[in-house]
């Protein structure tokens, strides 16, 4: 077998258009018979589809699991990767290492190790042989498949003290709690939209740790049961029931539980579109708006903030920050309540 030398960032896998990185490419090469000296090939066990992407596909296919599976196969067969053409987002995978290129032999990794990808499926060459199960409640798809990690790709070995599916659920949103830890300060008031989902719960947990006794972590949720869940977890100070697509309602209710004051930080973990202004309006000038949600339109966010005269710092939801995997897995180790919730929901 000929061993080829590829580009560090995977541009050798780009089919069209030439000259772009694999995330921006429409179609990439997912031929797994080609072995490059600076690639890792993984036998994939499960895909965690990005929440915004899965929600869009599930809605389009009216919740029919066979149609959801067919749509995912259609996208991957057409594009060589799992990148939703509507949302542009992907997800991540867990699997077992099948091949390590010669240039990467010095890594702390061996064939047979189970790993989770920490780069998006929207840039990852993926070849699916079959989809064996679709778990609509947790946005997970079990597959027989292979995927490529490039030299620049990051990954985490699956921990020995928790199940694969628990680690997958947590690592899928690892960027959110880790970024929250960086952005929130002691005494801050923090508004978390979409607080009842897995990224939202972890963001609330990190925010609550950082703000201390003088801070205020407020959840925006859609149902009263979610408030009870979050309070039982001990991750919030207050909560409101509102739709993130109705910014004025969110603003009025959010200010009411914050002493009439605007917030220092807001965090969007909402998996639906048209929620940008609900994140921006409640935040003070010079405050921070962190858009973790891949359903965010940054055009709407930028022009919307301009339109209401808000001088806020808006952070793109980068799924990577230093030590994000370790931070997120440690959150599950620290909080027995959150770990129990994740085990009950995602195992």
Nearest to 188 by CA among 266, 295, 241, 114: 266
pLDDT the model gives residue 14:
97
pLDDT the model gives residue 60:
97
Domain that holds residue 21: 3-158
* Distant-in-sequence, close-in-space partners of 53: CB < 8 Å, separation ≥ 6: 84, 86, 87, 89, 90, 91, 294
Beta strands in 58-151 (DSSP E): 91-100, 114-117, 126-135, 140-150
Residue with tokens 């690892």: 174
Nearest to 211 by CA among 189, 238, 241: 189
pLDDT the model gives residue 347:
79
Cβ burial of 160 (10 Å; 0-12, 13-18, 19+) is exposed
> Is the previous residue joined to 17 through a cis bond, with omega within 30 degrees of 0?
yes
The total domain count for the chain is 2
- What pTM did the predictor assign? 0.86
Does the residue 165 lie in any domain?
A: no
Spell out the long-range contacts of 325-330 with Cβ–Cβ below 8 A and sequence spacing 24 or more. 325/116, 325/118, 325/156, 325/171, 325/174, 327/174, 327/177, 327/178, 327/181, 327/206, 328/170, 328/171, 328/173, 328/174, 328/177, 328/178, 328/202, 329/159, 329/162, 329/167, 329/170, 329/171
Q: Where are the alpha helices (DSSP H) in 149-223?
A: 164-171, 175-183, 198-211
In eight-state DSSP terms, residue 74 is: H
pLDDT the model gives residue 317:
84
Does the residue 204 lie in any domain?
A: yes
Does the residue 245 lie in any domain?
A: yes
Segments of the chain with pLDDT less than 50 = none
pLDDT the model gives residue 320:
84
Residue with tokens 């149609």: 67
Does the residue 251 lie in any domain?
A: yes
Does the residue 128 lie in any domain?
A: yes
Same domain? 77 vs 225: no
Does the residue 170 lie in any domain?
A: no
- Element spanning 192, H or E: strand 189-193
pLDDT the model gives residue 212:
95
Three-state SS at 83 = coil
Does the residue 168 lie in any domain?
A: no
Same domain? 26 vs 127: yes
Same domain? 182 vs 140: no
Same domain? 100 vs 182: no
Same domain? 151 vs 10: yes
Does the residue 163 lie in any domain?
A: no
Q: Where are the alpha helices (DSSP H) in the chain?
A: 51-60, 65-79, 164-171, 175-183, 198-211, 224-233, 247-256, 276-280, 298-307, 324-334, 336-346
Same domain? 247 vs 311: yes
Same domain? 153 vs 244: no
């Amino acid at each position: 077998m000929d061993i080829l030398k590829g580009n560090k960032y995977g541009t050798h896998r780009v089919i069209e258009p030439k000259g772009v990185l694999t995330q921006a490419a429409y179609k990439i090469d997912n031929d797994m018979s080609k072995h490059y000296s600076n690639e890792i090939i993984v036998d994939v066990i499960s895909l965690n589809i990005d929440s915004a992407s899965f929600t869009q596909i599930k809605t389009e296919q009216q919740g029919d699991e066979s149609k959801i599976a067919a749509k995912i196969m259609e996208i991957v067969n057409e594009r060589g990767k799992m990148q939703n053409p509507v949302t542009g987002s992907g997800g991540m995978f867990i699997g077992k290492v099948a091949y390590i290129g010669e240039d990467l032999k010095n890594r702390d990794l061996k064939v047979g190790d189970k790993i989770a990808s920490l780069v998006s499926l929207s840039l990852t060459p993926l070849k699916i042989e079959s989809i064996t199960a679709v778990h609509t409640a947790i946005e997970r798809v079990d597959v027989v498949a292979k995927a490529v990690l490039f030299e620049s790709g990051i990954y985490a070995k699956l921990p020995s003290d928790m199940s694969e599916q628990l680690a997958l659920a947590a690592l899928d949103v690892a960027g959110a709690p880790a970024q929250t830890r960086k952005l929130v300060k002691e005494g801050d008031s923090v508004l978390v939209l979409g607080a009842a989902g897995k990224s939202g719960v972890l963001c609330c947990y990190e925010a609550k740790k950082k703000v201390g006794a003088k801070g205020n972590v407020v959840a925006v949720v859609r149902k009263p049961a979610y408030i009870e869940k979050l309070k039982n977890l001990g991750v919030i100070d207050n909560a409101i029931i509102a739709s993130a697509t109705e910014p004025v309602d969110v603003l009025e209710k959010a200010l009411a539980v914050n002493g009439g004051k605007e917030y220092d930080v807001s965090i969007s973990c909402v998996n639906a579109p048209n929620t940008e202004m609900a994140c921006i309006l409640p935040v003070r000038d010079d405050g921070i708006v962190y858009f973790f949600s891949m359903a965010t339109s940054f055009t709407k966010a930028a022009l919307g903030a301009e339109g209401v005269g808000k001088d806020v710092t808006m952070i793109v939801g980068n799924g990577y920050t230093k030590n994000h995997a370790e931070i997120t897995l440690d959150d599950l180790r620290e909080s027995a309540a959150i770990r129990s919730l994740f085990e009950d929901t995602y195992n």
